[in-house]
Amino acid sequence: MLDPYLPLVLMFALAGAFALFSVTAAPYIGPRRYNRAKLDSYECGIEPSPQPIVGGGRMPVAYYLTAMLFILFDIEMVFLYPFAVSADALGLFGLVEIVLFIVTVGFAYIYVWRRGGLDWN
């Protein structure tokens, strides 16, 4: 009765075994030569400075906020694609649902815009 699920269980077991093997073997297989450039902090392509202008030793949070906003609106597109493919099959129900989804994401966009999350200083 559970025979159709056997390939799925085997795939999950294989993925788990690969993840466990990768984490366990990495310290033994990976390079051990460290230099100053590898240990420096990385600030999104900007040359790291010893004392950032903002925060006295802290990295500006704007990089991370921009990345999170990109992920948020990128995921929105992932959810909109299946609707675009099957829009005619969903009918009026699908139209109402996608309008509600877009309005909800629109409120998030307006909130971020009004709070200054899109202003790059």
pLDDT tens figures, 14-46:
999 999 999 999 989 887 777 777 766 666 666
Structure tokens at 38: 């590898």
Average model confidence (pLDDT) across the chain: 81
Structure tokens at 22: 């990768």
pLDDT of residue 75: 85
Q: What is the DSSP letter of 109?
A: H
The answer to whether the predicted template modeling score (pTM) of the entire model surpasses 0.85 is: no
Q: What stretches in the chain show pLDDT beneath 70?
A: 39-60, 121
List the one residue out of 69, 71, 54 whose CA is nearest residue 118: 69
pLDDT of residue 85: 85
What spatial distance separates the first Cα and last Cα of the chain, rounded to whole Å?
A: 61
- Cα separation of 68 and 78, whole Å? 15
